Amino acid sequence: MSTTFQIDTATSRATPTPAPMKRLTVPKIRARKTDGATGEPLVMLTAYTARQAQLLDAHCDLLLVGDSLGQVIYGLPSTIPVTMEMMANHAAAVVRGSYHAVVVVDMPFGSYERSPEQAFDSAARLLKESGAAAVKLEGGEAMADTVAFLSQRGIPVMGHVGLTPQAVNVLGGYAARGRSDAEAEKIVGDAKALDAAGAFAIVIEGVVESIAVAATKAVSAPTIGIGASAQCDGQVLVTEDMLGMFERVPRFVKKYEDIAALIERTAASYAEDVRNRSFPGEDQTYQPKS
């Protein structure tokens, strides 16, 4: 059953709903890179809820409903257990909460690797149930045929090379990639294969900076770095990492705030008010009409 419906602005805490604006499109994102260069870098952050999308939307070109929600929202040890239902439901919430950014949804592990036909069924379901504009899948040259199959059938695809979290069991961890000549050559080759297959953008994650720069120069599609290089055509971070919600984050994360400390202080203030019976006060209770 489709999860695409509008927020009831009369009852939802998400009110007031921002005035709708013209949403960016996949072709406009792709066109930001011309003649091998991107004038204004693309801005992408992760979003998993409608309210989060509302707060980020005006500042981002793309919102990624990442399978990182498995760890960030559900407390899972990796992205491997994430399901199609999780991705579809969270993506639908992000679509409802946004008006400007292109919403991209991750295809979870096991939903696309078997064959291009399986990938099409999974991608079609995600887009139909969420209203998102595009899907993202991990893997380089091995997934090129699948990317081409989807692109030729009306499903925009964002690629993902370098450190691919869904392959953590094969990679043996989350260490940076591209430190050997062979691995560096493979990462650039993977990006070129996805570009030739029709990917409209390519995430480059956790690679030696020189390799990210080489891959960016080697492809016509915009590259979006995460733990890569400022010379990529755009950047993405997990929003909760950037906000300082977690103590432990990858070394490539810049914490722009310390929201975790703010939440702890606020919860402590609330707890103190409850225990000394100063909350709720007169302003928060219903009194008899005089």
The residues assigned a catalytic role are: 205
CA distance 119 to 147: 9
- C-alpha span between 40 and 175 (Å, rounded): 30
Between CA 250 and CA 75 the distance in angstroms is 17
**3-class DSSP state for residue 187?**
helix
Backbone phi, then psi, for 137, in 5-degree steps?
-135, 155
| Residue 238, CB-side half-sphere exposure with 13 Å CA sphere | 21
Spatial separation of the C-alpha atoms in residues 161 and 140, rounded to whole Å: 6
Q: Which amino acid does the sequence have at 109? A: F
**What are the phi and psi torsion angles at 202 (to 5°)?**
-140, 120
Is 68 part of any known ligand binding site?
A: yes
Closest CA to 175 of 167, 189, 110: 167
Scanning 58-180, the segments in alpha helix (DSSP H) are 69-72, 84-96, 116-130, 144-151, 168-171
233 assigned to a ligand binding site: no
Report residue 128 as tokens.
């139909």
User: Which amino acid makes up residue 230?
Assistant: A
Taking CA atoms, 101 is separated from 44, 54, 280, in Å, by 9, 10, 40
- Residue 106 annotated as binding? yes
Known binding-site residues for 3-methyl-2-oxobutanoate equal 67-68, 106, 136
